[in-house]
């Protein structure tokens, strides 16, 4: 089975010059954990994850948890950093060399990568153009739909 048989052909994309606030809004509105980053010609540039947004907004999160700082103080820091970064461009935290597959690749290849590397979604790129995404949900659907 090929990736093209089960991939999502309408990936949630964001432009490379978008801001942190625009990325957060797009993630929330579409209920996704990754955004595919593209340029003006829809050429694939990388991936932006919600985890990267959170880590950038709340640097030192692990230290806050270890030190036992009050939750209210941590939340205040989170809000302050969020306000400060809301208009910042996302390009500094985009993963520019993510694992990507072609639509003609075998589904078993992407399944092995997702399992071994604990990845939930990957871009599908043909000739530099983003043509879709493949997720664990797509894999489950493919396996469970086979009789």
Helix (H, G, I), strand (E, B) or coil at 99: coil
Ranges of the chain with pLDDT below 50: none
Q: What would the two tokens of residue 43 be?
A: 């050429």
3-145 belongs to which CATH class?
Answer: alpha beta
The span from the CA of 11 to the CA of 36, in Å, is: 7
* Predicted pLDDT at 37: 97
Please give the model's pTM, rounded to 2 decimal places.
0.84
At how many degrees (to 10) do helices 20-30 and 50-57 cross?
A: 140
* Predicted pLDDT at 124: 97
* Predicted pLDDT at 72: 72
């Amino acid at each position: 089975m090929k990736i093209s048989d089960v991939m999502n052909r309408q990936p949630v994309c964001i432009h490379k010059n978008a801001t942190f606030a625009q990325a957060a809004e797009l993630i929330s509105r579409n209920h996704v954990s990754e955004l595919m980053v593209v340029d003006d010609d829809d050429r694939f540039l990388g991936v932006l994850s919600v985890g990267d947004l959170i880590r950038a907004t709340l640097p030192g999160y692990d230290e806050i948890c270890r030190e036992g700082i009050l939750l209210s103080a941590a939340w205040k820091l989170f809000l302050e950093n969020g306000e400060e970064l809301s208009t910042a461009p996302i390009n500094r935290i985009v993963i520019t060399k993510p694992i990507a597959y072609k639509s003609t690749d075998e589904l078993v290849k992407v399944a092995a990568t997702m399992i071994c590397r604990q990845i939930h979604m990957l871009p599908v790129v043909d000739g530099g153009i983003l043509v879709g995404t493949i997720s664990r949900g797509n894999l489950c659907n493919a396996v469970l739909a086979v009789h």
